[in-house]
Amino acid sequence: MQRRDFLRVVGAGATVVAVYPSMIGGTLYADNGQLYKAYEKVQLVDGDGNPIKASSLEAEKTYVFNYPQVAVPCFLINLGEKAENEVKLKSEDGTEYIWSGAVGEDNSIVAYTAICPHQLTHTNKADSFMSYVPRKATTMAYKEGGVIICASHLSAFDPKRGANNLSGPAPQPLASIVLEHAKDDTLWAVAVLGQDKFHDYFKSFKSEFKEQFGGKRKAKKFVSFSVPTVAISEYTKEIIAY
């Protein structure tokens, strides 16, 4: 290969990766190079398999999907107001990272893992002690609504600022799901940003995974191509919030 051809190939490859970082797997770097892990790019679809359109999401309604593994619950929320950009967050071990912001026409659509970083309380098919409290609602976990709460030990997270931990014993923000909003208004999950605690999560709930997914191995399977995204009331039997 000529030196010029070699440079062309390298240049084209670098451009593709720069434009679509999710084209390659493994750990990539966020804006400041911290805690960004890319997984397979997966389209969010409804219960019938039709692509979810960002503009069709009801404001302040919580939707649930699983990403990057079939037993990892995530919230998708259209906050109904613009989220902040370039928010600096800090994980439990002190690593600082940048949450870039929301997607959608109004920069109001966010996604976070529904696993509390305190003691791994999470949304599952039987119940959800994690939930989003709309702005006009009240909660014991925080002085005002518009927050994601963990009802187990009353931690609150700010969805407008990368799910930063606002109050309660949670030692760090919720891990966020990096979304891509395509030109055709569809939504795609491409990566996880923040310290995710998946390792501890999969070690802690063997019986639940057996009951709900047929075993830990099946629960750890990575999602592929597309993932159903449904209202939280359809996903879980009971929502517990205080």
Partner 1 sequence: MKKIITTLLILCALSTDSYAAEQQERISDMKHMADGMGLIMNGLLYNYLDNINAGVKYIQEGVESIHQKGNLKTYLPEDTAYAHKFGEKSLRRIMEYSNELNEAMKAKDLDAALESASLLMRQCNSCHSRVRGW
CB 42 within 8 A of CB 225: yes
Site size with partner 1, rule: CB under 8 A: 15
Strands 226-228, 36-45: pairing kind: parallel
Q: Would you count residue 218 as binding partner 1 (CB under 8 A)?
A: no
- Map residues 169-188 to x or -, x wherever contact with partner 1 holds by CB under 8 A: x-------------------
Region near partner 1 per CB under 8 A, out of 19-27, 44-52, 109-117, 146-154: 146-154
Whether residue 68 is preceded by a cis peptide bond, meaning omega within 30 degrees of 0, is yes
Task: Quote the least distance from Cβ 237 to partner 1, whole Å.
Answer: 12
Among 43, 69, 95, 204, binds partner 1 (CB under 8 A): 204
CB 110 within 8 A of CB 176: yes
Question: Is the torsion defined by CA of 18, 113, 43, 55 positive or negative?
Answer: negative
Q: Would you count residue 207 as binding partner 1 (CB under 8 A)?
A: yes
Per the document, the length of the chain is 242
Q: Which is nearer to partner 1, 81 or 127 (CB)?
A: 127
Q: Would you count residue 208 as binding partner 1 (CB under 8 A)?
A: yes
The SS3 call for residue 190 is strand
DSSP code, position 85: S
For residue 238, the cross-strand partners are: none
Q: Around Cβ 153, how many Cβ atoms within 10 Å?
A: 14
Among 99, 129, 142, 201, binds partner 1 (CB under 8 A): 129
Among 206, 217, 221, 237, binds partner 1 (CB under 8 A): 206
Q: Which is nearer to partner 1, 17 or 240 (CB)?
A: 240
Under the rule (CB under 8 A), what is the footprint of partner 1?
119, 127, 129, 151-153, 169, 203-204, 206-208, 238, 240, 242
